[in-house]
Amino acid sequence: MILSPLLRLCLAFALISSSAVFAEPRPQAIEATPSAMQIIRRLLGVSQRVAAAGSRSDQGLGVCLITPSLNFKQNDKENIVLFSRPAFVSKEPLNEIQISLGTQQWRALASSKKDVERIVDWPFLPLKGGETIVIRLRPKGAAGGDYSELRFTAASSEVLAQNSALVMGLGSNEKSWINSIKSKSSQDPKLAIALLFSPSAPDSEQVKQMRNLLIESSCY
């Protein structure tokens, strides 16, 4: 049975909310507002799943990349990174992630007790316009050589500067961040997702819940 985007979002919200019932009580917990759910609904369908290369693992394995967003439906376009310090976000737990920028290499490996974090912040100095990034993702359960390899290009210097100025202007004001994400969700959903997962975003319950809703509802 294929679920509509709205039904998937409602189910994800119900799961997150029900899990909170059995958790230890936290003061001033914030529930997802209708406005927040509307924002997330606009962002569904942007994230895409990429298969792991190789034939030794289950063919169903792959990675749902939440951000940076891909351009699989527009093969003549590059995959563009919109921030000089992008976050890399996957829906599924990972066994490994590798990030390459020129001669610089960085990787994180899962241990026997802990998977790689689903949100990985940029490990190098800020990107410059037009630089090429290569990431290799190995999902949980994939064989050692079964990676999803993706190439990204940093946006132009002007776009990087504009987006950096946007983030600086938002500061630590949660309301400003939510309003900006809401505005961009209609105008530029890829930028809205990048903003939502920005390391500079406020560490608030509302932002955390919006992130969880989008992760749980993507790539079905």
Residue where the block lists tokens 């037009």: 130
The yes-or-no verdict on residue 3 having pLDDT over 90 is no
Exposure string over 158-196, b if 16+ CB within 10 A, otherwise e:
ebbeebeeebeebeeebeebbebbeebbeeebbbbbbbb
Instruction: Give the pairing of strands 80-81 and 148-154.
Output: parallel
Q: Nearest Cα to 54, choosing from 132, 172, 138? A: 138
Q: Give per-residue pLDDT as tens, 119-139.
A: 999 999 999 999 999 999 998
The DSSP secondary structure of 99-117, one letter per residue, reads: EEETTEEEEEE--SS-PBP
Whether the CA torsion 139, 151, 47, 168 is positive or negative: it is: positive
Q: Give per-residue pLDDT as tens, 149-200.
A: 899 999 999 999 999 999 999 999 999 999 999 999 999 999 999 999 999 9
- In percent, the amount of the chain with pLDDT more than 70 equals 77
Q: Give per-residue pLDDT as tens, 11-70.
A: 555 544 444 433 444 434 445 566 888 999 999 989 888 877 653 444 456 789 999 998
CB distance 110 to 140 below 8 Å: yes
What is the pTM (predicted TM-score) of this model?
0.81
Residue 148, pLDDT score:
87
Residue where the block lists tokens 């507002």: 33
The yes-or-no verdict on residue 92 having pLDDT over 90 is no
Count of CB atoms situated within 10 Å of the CB of 64: 17
Residue 12, pLDDT score:
56
Phi-psi region of 122 (alpha: psi -120 to 50; beta: other; left: phi over 0): beta
Cross-strand pairs, 100 = 105, 134
